[in-house]
Chains A and B, each alone.
Chain A
Amino acid sequence: MVKKYSNIDDLFRDKFKDFELYPPDHIWEKIKQQVQDSGAGKAGRSISNGGIIGITILLIITSLFTIYVLQGTSGKDADPDLKVTEHNNGGSLNSTPRSVMELPSDKAIETAVAETPAKKDFKPENRKKVSSRFELIPASKTQLGKSNLSVSETVNVAENLSLTQTEESGEFGLSEIPGLIPSDFNLKPGDDSELLAINDTDKTTGEQNKYNDTDEESDQLTESNSNEADNFAAPVPEIRDDYGKESNWSFGLFFTPELVYYPSATEFNSRSYSLDVNAIYGFSGYLIQSGLGVGFSSDNGNYKIDYNKYLGAYQNVYDVTFDTTGGQVIPIYHTETVKVYDTIDHISISPTKRKFTYLNIPVLFGYGNEGRRFGWYVKAGPSLSVLIHENIPDINLTDSQNKILYVENELPGRLKTNWQFVFTGGVSYKLGNSLSFTLEPVFRYYINSAYEQNNVTLKSPYSIGIRAGFVLGF
């Protein structure tokens, strides 16, 4: 039978009513892969496997780096031949040469000098003579609150020196025994092997170096035999345990507004704000920065709501029973309320704003230089963002009795975790001895999009922002 169509609309409606076409197989393969990867449909999953792995990797990197830095510090500075013995309890512990600089307040410090035989040629009698005459007088500022230490030497060959410290200059002078030419020491800055301030362990003399605690104003370590002490007092540059690699900790509080760009889908462009607390470890100009931050961002979009309009209701009688008690037949009508809706689908589009809160964990490595007032630095590294809270408002339909058939948000959902690579460089300005203000442009490249997989449209987003903050050094 041939159908007749009054207009072309009917023709198209009729022809396409049950039209089916089998799609190519490769489409399902792609859908399956993306759906399985994103775990679509699963609800209530707080952190994805990727997030857990990411946090673990960041922790491992940070731990390894910290261990490496700490080991490097202690391994380079520790002198295996040096022992520091505490007088009070007789215990002993390894110490860095810094303990030599911090003179005890009220006890004698016994010093001895370790040196190679080639550089010095002492006679035993000289050694005994000098060691019995050492008397160390510390700077007044170092007297109070210091523990009492004696420093002993474990090497076989030892000579005795007196150390003279001048507080203003921060330098040590070496006094040598008669017959020893000071130039023989060949002390150079950083030559730790030549800095010796070690105990004379020869107790047979019954003499000890004594700390003269009556002279609190004295800034010098003096030898009791003033004649010999005055003979040689060559200045030696300050030698520090962290020579060549100053290290420090500082903590910063940062605020960062950013603009996020989606080159292939500009409707997703958005703003975000983050507040970060970071610890910064600096050493020899290099720095590592990590911490926690809270990021806030939002999506503006529309809800598309398909609904049937509510027209009213009626009472439907679904059963009738009869009560015959009392000799009379009384019908009982069992009813239910039936709502009536318009059969035509309607669409309502209402704006909505979804808010998201992220926990940010950056690990940045960098290099910088700090001057008297200003400093500069560059940093780069990965950053992990974990979605910890989302506020998605409910749909807003004028008449709540309307039957909602379909709701769609224009914007896709957000992933629980996403990775970024952060590059930043900036300047710092010292506000005080330990407080600095920093200002740095931030470029953030999203390794994976913050949104759920949405074909190719959301790839390669990036953001540009400015980070301002205060850094407190220690």
Chain B
Amino acid sequence: MYSEEDLINRCLSNEARAQEDFYKRFAPKMYGVCMRFAKNQMEADDILQEGFIKVFTNLKSFRNEGSLEGWVRKTIVNTAINLYKKNLKHQKDTDIEQAEVVQNFEQSSLDKISVQELMDIIRDLPTGYRVVFNLNVIEGYSHKEISQLLEISENTSKSQLSRARQALQKKLFEINRTKD
């Protein structure tokens, strides 16, 4: 098992074995990120592939000031954003109807919902909602930062997040109801 620094140096020397170890170390977690951002598995595969090529290409620019995993994760997220922006002009999301706010379901029952079910309802969201929700709620970006990244206004980011939450709540309620 290489140390992180040793692994980076070996990858920079274009050692195929080290690159594979690097990939195996981070790919499972990053694939989870890709699945959240992607509309389907094929798109997730593309994000992971392109993201890791970027990682290996730009590894020399990694500064040891932050964690390597965080750096890889940001590269993957940025790749997902770029793909979203690229596809934006080719697709038209059908705006979901104003979801009714669902608040009256048993909070404790939420824990019974599996990750795979959560993944499914996230991926059912329209692309714009999904990306904003992922960036804000899970990745921790502010609306100002999201507006810069996606080249949209802050208000758009906020409204898309609000609608995403409503849609998710509705889906969660439905899942919860079927389980009861």
Contacts and interface: CB of A to CB of B under 8 A. Distances in A.
Interface in B1-42: 11-14, 16, 19-20, 23, 27-29, 31-32, 35-36
Contact of B14 (A8, A18, A40): A40
B71 interface: yes
Contacts of B50: 454-455
Contacts of B66: 405-406
B108 A2 contact: yes
Nearest to B30: A23
A349 to B, nearest CB: 5
Interface stretch (A25-33, A49-57, A83-91, A182-190): A25-33
Query: In this complex, which of B48, B50, B63, B165 has the most chain A Cβ atoms within 10 angstroms of its Cβ?
Result: B50
B92 to A, nearest CB: 18
A20 B29 contact: yes
B111 A16 contact: no
Grouping DSSP codes into helix (H, G, I), strand (E, B) and loop, the B interface class, with mixed when no group exceeds half, is helix
A4 B111 contact: yes
A12 B137 contact: yes
A40 B53 contact: yes
A31 B16 CA distance: 11
A: contact size bracket: 35 or more
B167 to A, nearest CB: 11
A259 B60 CA distance: 32
Contact of B60 (A30, A32, A41, A347): A41
A24 B110 CA distance: 30
A304 B58 CA distance: 14
B155 interface: no
Interface in A440-474: 452-455, 457
Contacts of A226: none
B98 interface: no
A152 B100 CA distance: 111
A410 B85 CA distance: 12
B180 interface: no
Given A8-B172, A11-B110, A405-B66, A23 B149 contact: no
Given A27-B48, A405-B71, A41 B56 contact: yes
B153 interface: no
Contact of B57 (A13, A30, A403, A452): A452
Contacts of A23: 27-28, 31, 45, 48
Interface string A403-417: 111111010110000
A171 interface: no
A311 interface: no
Contact of A347 (B14, B133, B149): B149
24 contacts: A5-B111, A8-B172, A11-B172, A15-B113, A20-B29, A23-B27, A23-B28, A23-B45, A36-B14, A41-B11, A41-B59, A41-B60, A304-B78, A304-B149, A347-B141, A347-B145, A404-B65, A406-B66, A406-B70, A407-B63, A408-B78, A455-B49, A455-B53, A457-B86
Top 9 closest A-B pairs, CB basis?
A20-B28, A405-B66, A19-B32, A23-B31, A40-B56, A347-B145, A40-B57, A41-B12, A406-B74
Interface of A: 2-6, 8-9, 11-13, 15-16, 18-24, 27-28, 30-32, 34-36, 38-43, 265, 267, 304, 306, 344-347, 349, 403-408, 410, 412-413, 452-455, 457
Given A349-B149, A406-B75, 17 more contacts: A12-B137, A19-B29, A20-B29, A21-B35, A22-B27, A27-B48, A32-B20, A35-B53, A40-B14, A40-B56, A40-B57, A41-B11, A41-B14, A304-B78, A407-B61, A413-B57, A452-B57
Interface of B: 11-14, 16, 19-20, 23, 27-29, 31-32, 35-36, 45-46, 48-50, 52-54, 56-61, 63, 65-66, 70-71, 74-75, 78, 82, 86, 107-108, 110-111, 113, 115, 118, 122, 133, 137-138, 140-141, 145, 148-149, 165, 168-169, 172
